[in-house]
Each structure stands twice: as structure tokens, then as C-alpha cells.
Amino acid sequence: MRALGLAISTFAALALSVMPASAATLDEVKERGHLQCGVDGGIPGFSAPDDEGNMAGIDADYCYALAAAIFGDSSKVKFTNLTAKERFTALTSGEIDVLSRNTTDTLTRDATLGVNFTYYNYIDGQGFLVKKDLGVTSATQLSGAKVCVQAGTTTELNLADYFRVNDMEFEPVVYDTSVQTREGFDGGACDVLTSDKSQLAAIRTELADPEGAVILPETISKEPLGPAVRQGDDQWHDIVRWTLFALINAEELGVNSENVDQMREESTNPSVRRLLGVEGTMGENLGLSNDWAYNAIKQVGNYGEIYERNVEPLGLEREGSVNALWTEGGILYAPPIR
């Protein structure tokens, strides 16, 4: 733990030392002609290549939507695959414009790494994946286990906390990427794999024998995941944050990729008309064209469409979960566009 704390302090100092002093990310992105988005790149449902080699997943789709909001063209985005250790340096050094990589918003990261979190595109919690033949039905039975875990994550810290609080011993088996962690578990390097439960569901689908593994019932942490930007550029922070809010508001208002043209032409709902740029100057207020949200919704879909396309195939039902809209019993709540 001490070593990890020192590593975080050193990393924080490095991050702050390379943080750009100017605030012109939007201009830089426009001049470059594409958005540079940092993702994991190896987690199905969140960010991983599809059958045609295109990056797909809820984290990737957010970047496509942001590109559509900026350029009117969702294809103007390039992805950088990043490990957990690499992600914040890539963001603060300017290698990427936005980090959309299943990253947990925590006080230490927000206050010391030179980054600002925006909002949550998935609200998660940490759990444990075990082989069924281990005969374990509860995390409280894991004392003495070898645990595969990805380095540089809140997962690693939560794991140590959980075993200490429950007076249990464990042996960490640490990897740099989610793919390596999955391969270690699949190859028998450990008894247990721990990560966010959404990642466990994704990892389970890629095991040699998915039916031979089970996610234990315990959820041992809060993991609010969402896009982050580097500090020092309030306009860019607003653009990244409000693009996500626009996707959530669109679902709440019943605007989706199929009906968005009709809604723009016919809706008399003032909230819909502001969202789609028919009334007001919402896009211009952000430094974008007034059809920024229309383009994002038209080309990528609203939040519900993105979730259904990427996350539900993992078996992670949204209904009745915290990831449902606040109007449907969840806690997903976007401020109004007005």
C-alpha cells in the first residue's frame, strides 16, 4: 500500500508538471481535423474492436457522439488504447483530448492528477469472478485466494481494503491490461479475478468456458465511470460534459436516432426544440454549431440506444438498475438544456 501511495504521489507530480497552461482544446481539435479519444480497447461492451475492426462499445460511442457534436461527423475520431497506468499521463500531456475509458471518479484523482471528471456513462461496482469448480458462493470464502487484478486501478485498492476489513489473506497476481488479466485467470494463474462487475461480465464472455465461471453476489465498492478531461480548459470541459447530458436528455425526451428528424420538424416541446437547435443558442453557447446535439443523436443515438446496443448483450439489464433514468427508478439524471 505504501509503495502504491508513493507511486500515486509521483505520478500526480508528473501529471501536473506536463499539464498544458493554455485553454484551447476545441481549436486544437478542429485544426487537427479529428478528436483523439483514449479508451481501454480490450473490454467488449465498453471499448473493443468489432468484427470489422472498428472500435465499439459505450465508451467508444460516447467519443463518436462527441465528434459528431464538434464536426457534424461521428467518424472524425481516432482512438488510443491505454492501460490503466498510462491513461492519466496521456490525458494531461495532451496525447488525447478526452479519456473515455471506464475510469472511476475519485477525490484523489480529481484533486491531484490535473484532470476533471464530467458525468457518468456507467455506474458500476467491483465484484469477483470465480471458476464454478472452485465451489465458492460468496466473497467471504476467498481467504487465501490468488486474485488476478489490473494494476493502477481503484480495483487494486478496493481489493486490499476488502480483505483487510474482513480479516482475510490474499495473494495478488497483477497485470497491466484487462486482456492480460483475463488471460491470467483463464490460464489458471489465479483462483479469482476482480474488477468492476461490468468488466467481469465482458471478460466472462471471452473465457474459453464462459459457463464454467460465475460472478459472486457481493459488490464491494462504488465505481462511477465516465469521461474525463485535463484541467485548465473550462470550455472543453463544458463541451464534453454537455454532450453526455444531451444524450441522456434525448432519451428522457423520447428523441432517438430514428425519430430525430421528425422531432426537429414537428415537436412543439420547448425542451426538444432547444435540444435539437430549433430554438435558442445552446450549441453556440458551447462554441459549437446549434445542431451539435442533433448530429450526435442522429449519428450515434441517445443514451438508451447506446446502452442497449453495447451493454445489454453482456447480460447487464438496465431496468431496475442504478443506470436507469431517474424517471424510471435509476439515478441517471442530466441537468436541463435551457
pLDDT tens digits, one per residue of 79-124: 999 999 999 999 999 999 999 999 999 999 999 999 999 999 999 9
| pLDDT-based confidence at residue 168 (cuts at 50, 70, 90) | very high
Buried b (16+ CB within 10 A) or exposed e, 240-259: bbbbbbbbbbbbbbebbbee
Written as nine digits, the cell of 305 is: 440506444
> For the sheet containing 35-39, what is the strand order?
77-81, 35-39, 98-99, 228-230, 115-117
Contact 29, 104 (CB under 8 A): no
Confidence grade of residue 271 (pLDDT, cut at 50, 70, 90): very high
For the chain, count helices (H), then strands (E): 14, 14
Nearest to 127 by CA among 64, 201, 231, 234: 201
pLDDT at 23: 60
d(CA 243, CA 69): 7
Q: What grid cell was written down for 107?
A: 477525490
pLDDT tens track for 305-325:
999 999 999 999 999 999 999
For residue 248, pLDDT beyond 50: yes
155 pLDDT higher than 70: yes
Give me 77's grid cell: 475520431
Cα distance between the two ends of the chain: 46
CATH superfamily, region 25-121+226-314: Periplasmic binding protein-like II (3.40.190.10)
3-state secondary structure of 195: strand
**Confidence band (pLDDT; 50, 70, 90) for 49?**
very high
Across all residues in the chain, what is the average pLDDT? 93
Q: Is the whole-model pTM more than 0.85?
A: yes
Query: Is it true that domain 124-222 has CATH number 3.40.190.10?
Result: yes
- pLDDT above 70 covers what percent of the chain? 93
Coil/strand/helix, residue 271: helix
Binned at pLDDT 50, 70 and 90, residue 152 comes out as confident
What pLDDT, on a 0 to 100 scale, did the predictor assign at position 178? 87
Residue 37 in this model has a pLDDT that exceeds 90: yes
Most confident among 146-160, 172-186, 265-279 (mean pLDDT): 265-279
pLDDT band, residue 17 (cuts 50/70/90): very low
Is the pLDDT score of 22 beyond 70? no
Burial class (CB in 10 A: 0-12, 13-18, 19+), 82: buried
Looking at residues 128-143, what average pLDDT do you find? 95
User: Alpha-carbon torsion 235, 255, 295, 224, what sign?
Assistant: positive
- At residue 125, the pLDDT reads 96
Task: List where CATH 3.40.190.10 sits in the chain.
Answer: 25-121+226-314, 124-222
* Mean pLDDT value of segment 219-224: 96
